[in-house]
């Protein structure tokens, strides 16, 4: 089993790297993914849950719940994607596992 893991490390260019640093990188990656999914879930289900109360506010003839569902949540989703990509690229550099361009 150890030989298989060592061979995988070679395939990914990770041989000779500090195992603790790789564990820290993995922990950061998991934490960032969980936080991103929490924000996604709150936006997705939270907007739907409060859409009824938002509909009492009307903007340009459309209820605010419509805007939050149609545009507001999409803006947040795009922000989540860019935020995740930016932070993971920074973590890749910080932990020394960035890909070559």
Write down the pTM of the prediction. Answer: 0.73
Indicate if the alpha-carbon torsion angle 34, 36, 42, 45 is positive or negative: negative
Half-sphere exposure of 52 (CA within 13 A, CB side): 1
81 burial level (CB within 10 Å; 0-12, 13-18, 19+): exposed
- Per the model's pLDDT, the better-predicted residue between 63 and 3 turns out to be 63
* pLDDT above 70 as % of the chain: 83
Q: 60 in the Ramachandran plot: left (φ > 0), alpha (ψ -120 to 50) or beta?
A: left
Residue 29 near residue 88, CB atoms below 8 Å: yes
Give the domain ranges of the chain. Answer: 18-95
- pLDDT one-digit tens code per residue, 44-54: 888 778 878 88
The Cα–Cα gap between 30 and 56 comes to 39
Q: Residue 14 — pLDDT band, cuts 50, 70, 90? A: low
């Amino acid at each position: 089993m150890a030989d298989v893991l060592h061979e995988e490390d070679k395939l990914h260019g990770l041989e000779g790297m500090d195992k603790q640093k790789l564990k820290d990188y993995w922990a950061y990656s998991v934490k960032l993914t969980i936080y991103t999914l929490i924000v996604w879930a709150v936006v997705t289900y939270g907007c739907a849950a409060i859409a009824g109360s938002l509909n009492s506010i009307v903007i340009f003839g459309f209820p605010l719940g419509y805007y939050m569902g149609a545009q507001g949540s999409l803006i947040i989703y795009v922000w989540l994607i860019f935020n995740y990509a930016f932070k993971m690229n920074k973590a890749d550099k910080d932990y020394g596992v960035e890909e070559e361009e």
